Structure 1
Amino acid sequence: MFIKIQNLRIHYKIFGAGESLIFLPGWGWGFEGYLKVIMHLAQNFRVIALDLPGFGLSTPPQTAWQTEQYAALVAEFARELEIINPIMVGHSLGGKIALYLTAENLVATKKLVLISSAGIKLPKKITQYGKMYAFKLLKNLACLPLLKIFLARKVNAYRNKVGSQDYRRAQGVMREILVRVVNEDFRSLLPKIKVPTLLIWGEKDTSSPLTAGQLMKKIIPEAKLVVFPKAGHFPHEHDCIEFCKQVDEFLS
């Protein structure tokens, strides 16, 4: 199904029946990448899953959005579908949007499940700073007329070497959006989350390191943290049975 929100064509689907649960995918994914989890949740809930703008079958924003704009769209989506007091479940970027919606009370969230959620910007390692400044220097040199042709390919090659996989894959406005959202830090919003919150994290997550989950556990008043040993950024795929068990217990 499709609905037009803020002049964007948003793809969504409703699974199951019962209490409403909004499912928000992570960066680079449509909801169809989470069907195994969604179908399990749909046994007990009315799951409303949507493709965020720029992913799946939803059209991308025309300008470089931040999390605030994504959250405003989801809030409007919930109003249009008359979704009241939903459970919010989000992975990665979807988790960041869900926590923003809840903290700012844009949606009257009943319970919150954050899976390897973005939201806390951790300090970069010294090696990361070195790579970042080297890239900026190379890019600035490539703007000089005498060096432009010579360095153009080197800039692209270095970008592909040091940039994250998400950054390399993103094109146009979505690359600008990625840069903006990864540089946001929402730790000041976390104390405002007053609903029961389940944090699910992979021990080996390098995209949203476990340190971020541990900080969220300390700051969110009613948070519980479950860590999946040896799992990365997709704990729901690493051990789907245990993941579903943890979510079921929390939502029961």
Structure 2
Amino acid sequence: MKKKISDITINYKVIENGTKNILFLHGWGANLNSFLPVAKELKCRSFLIDLPGFGESSLPNSIYSSYDYANLIELFINELNLDNLILVGHSFGGKIASLIASKNPSWLEKVVIISSPGIKTKKKFKTRLKIFTYKLLAKIFYTFGLKKSLEKLRNKFGSQDYKSSKGIMREILKNVINEDISTELKKIKKDTLIIFGKNDDAVPVEVGIKFNQYIENSKLIVYENAGHFPFLENFDSFLYDLKKFIGEINNG
């Protein structure tokens, strides 16, 4: 299905397995299919979205921030008149879900944040050295107008997300990657479940601990044998924890 919000066309899918509303937001570089296996197992009315610039949704018409994404998804939710909604977001989608939840809208019931960035942590020496080397070489190449060498440098040092992003999406990635949403996290009052993988090399578990400290009514679960995709790597455990959190399994 398609829904026009402002100048953006959002592609989405609805899985009708119940009456409880739940909306899934995927991570950077993914699409609505990321959470499809989860949605099929829930007794919910599940909404799966292609975020703007991914899947079959249209590209943003300007260099978005995470706040712009959050505002657009909030407009989408209001347009569909969704109430008593549970938000679930992975990675970049978790960051968007967090920003929406920070406003504590009346229609929001609960939030699930999975492997989400948004808090700056002290980088390891190896990472700091890599960044220093990149910046030094980039400055030299830029000064001497070596555009091809500069692009090769960016592709060598850049993350997989950076390498796979093109055009405006690459500019958006550069924009959102440095945002710190610590202040917004402290405003969240809704019940929140935070899930991280202990072996996550994209967003370290220390970030999940900070999320837990900043969000008042939150619970952190760390899966020992999982990385950046704990909801897929520990599918059965995640499904159990999610169902328990949203009330499909008796908490007693």
TM range (shorter): over 0.9
Q: Any residues of structure 2 matched to 1:135-174 within 5 Å, and which?
A: 135-144=134-143, 147-148=144-145, 151-174=146-169
Find the counterpart in structure 2 of residue 194 from structure 1: 189
Find the counterpart in structure 2 of residue 86 from structure 1: 85
* Residues 1:47 and 2:40 are matched in the alignment: no
For the residue of structure 2 that corresponds to 1:142, the secondary structure is helix
Contact kept, 8 Å, 1:121 with 1:182, in 2: the verdict is no
Does 66-75 or 154-163 show the bigger shift?
A: 154-163
Find the counterpart in structure 2 of residue 10 from structure 1: 10
Q: CA deviation at 1:159?
A: 1.7
State the Cα RMSD in Å. Answer: 1.5
Alpha-carbon distance in 1 for matches of 2:106, 2:25: 13
For the residue of structure 1 that corresponds to 2:14, the secondary structure is strand
* Residues 1:122 and 2:121 are matched in the alignment: yes
Alpha-carbon distance in 2 for matches of 1:61, 1:107: 27
Alpha-carbon distance in 2 for matches of 1:94, 1:158: 28
| TM-score, normalised with respect to structure 1 | 0.92
Q: CA deviation at 1:129?
A: 2.8
Contact kept, 8 Å, 2:35 with 2:48, in 1: the verdict is no
* Residues 1:229 and 2:185 are matched in the alignment: no
Contact kept, 8 Å, 1:21 with 1:86, in 2: the verdict is yes
Deviations 1:130-160 (A, max 9, x none): 322322332232234xx43xx4443233222
For the residue of structure 1 that corresponds to 2:33, the secondary structure is helix
Find the counterpart in structure 2 of residue 113 from structure 1: 112
* Structure 2 alignment gaps of length 5 or more: 248-252
Deviations 1:212-233 (A, max 9, x none): 0011112211111111112100
Contact kept, 8 Å, 1:75 with 1:106, in 2: the verdict is no
Find the counterpart in structure 1 of residue 26 from structure 2: 25
2:15 alignment partner AA: F
Alpha-carbon distance in 1 for matches of 2:124, 2:97: 28
Alpha-carbon distance in 1 for matches of 2:173, 2:122: 18
1:251 alignment partner AA: I
Deviations 1:168-221 (A, max 9, x none): 111111111111111011111122111111111100011111000011112211
Alpha-carbon distance in 1 for matches of 2:124, 2:149: 24
- Structure-2 change in CA distance of 1:47 and 1:107 (3 Å): farther
Alpha-carbon distance in 1 for matches of 2:106, 2:156: 40
Alpha-carbon distance in 2 for matches of 1:23, 1:107: 18
Alpha-carbon distance in 2 for matches of 1:33, 1:89: 12
For the residue of structure 2 that corresponds to 1:214, the secondary structure is helix
Contact kept, 8 Å, 1:72 with 1:106, in 2: the verdict is no
Q: Identity over aligned residues, as a percent? A: 39
* Structure 1 alignment gaps of length 5 or more: none
Alpha-carbon distance in 2 for matches of 1:103, 1:160: 35
> After TM superposition, which residue ranges in structure 1, 4 or more long, deviate above 4 angstroms?
none
Q: CA deviation at 1:32?
A: 1.2
